[in-house]
Every structure is written in structure tokens, then in C-alpha cells.
Amino acid sequence: MRFNGKRDPYIFYVWLAILIPYGSICGLIYWQEKDLTPIFILGGTWLLLGILFYLIVKSTYYTFIDDETLVCQTMYVFKKTIPVTSIRRFEKATGLYAGIKMSTSWKCLIMHYNKYDELLISPENEELFIAEVERRKALVNP
């Protein structure tokens, strides 16, 4: 079973927030130098950042490869494989989070697994995802 990442405007707002200092710097450079080259460089960088954010949003998902393993993946490259039996609990994220983040949404879950590990995730349907994890844990540990 595969769960896509939740999509909200959070990453879009971050992308727009980066536009403000980039736009200010571009305006200052043009005002002083009357040269458009730095504007193209900063604009291209901002555009590439937008493409990167788009790839993050489109490529984040959580899937079960068997009854015992959960795979969290983002950017088609970064994967985290977690045994379902090691997942201890879930809690709602209530602010800024410092740790491994495979989330595409501001409102997300902190998944606690192993003894001290945490992973920030944002499945599209959180209740169904948690129910599926609990169901698979029950299958492995009858």
C-alpha cells in the first residue's frame, strides 16, 4: 500500500519568501550597476529552487514493501527503511522541528521508532496511515 505525501501551500510560501531577498538584491544590483547579468543568475537560481521544491513534493511517498517494512522516500533518491515493529508512536508536530524530515506539509506527524529515532512525515491520509501501521504491527506480532 502506498501513501503519497500531503500537499499544502507551505513549500510554495517558502519559495515565495526566498523571492523577497532575491528580488531586493536584484533591484539593488540593477540600481547600482545597470547590468542585467546578475538578475538572470539570481532569477535562474530562484527558478531552479522552485523546480527542486516541485520534485520534493511530487516524489515524496510512504509505502509498505511487505508486512514488516515501511519505506519513506523523497526526491527519488533519499530512502529511509523502517521495520514496522520498531515504530512506537505517532504525534502531531506542533511547531518547528529539527531532525530528519520527509514531509511536504506544515501540518504533519512525528513518527517515533527504535529507541530514540524520529522522522517527520506527512501522509495524505494520516488516520488511514496510522491504522495501516497498527494493522501490520499486529500481523507481525500476533
Q: Which domain holds residue 62?
A: 1-142
Q: How many other β-carbons are positioned within 10 Å of the β-carbon of residue 98?
A: 7
The pLDDT score that the predictor gives to residue 16 is 84
Q: Can you tell me whether residue 36 is helix, strand or coil?
A: coil
The pLDDT score that the predictor gives to residue 8 is 83
| pTM of this structure | 0.79
Is the Cα torsion angle 13, 59, 104, 79 positive or negative in sign?
negative
State the cell numbers at 136: 501490520
The pLDDT score that the predictor gives to residue 66 is 86
| Number of domains within the chain | 1
The pLDDT score that the predictor gives to residue 127 is 94
Residue 122 sits in a domain of what CATH number?
Answer: 2.30.29
Measured CA to CA, the distance from residue 63 to residue 51 in angstroms comes to 24
Q: How many other β-carbons are positioned within 10 Å of the β-carbon of residue 49?
A: 15
pLDDT by 10-residue block (mean), the chain, 142 residues:
87 83 84 84 86 88 91 90 94 80 86 91 93 90 72
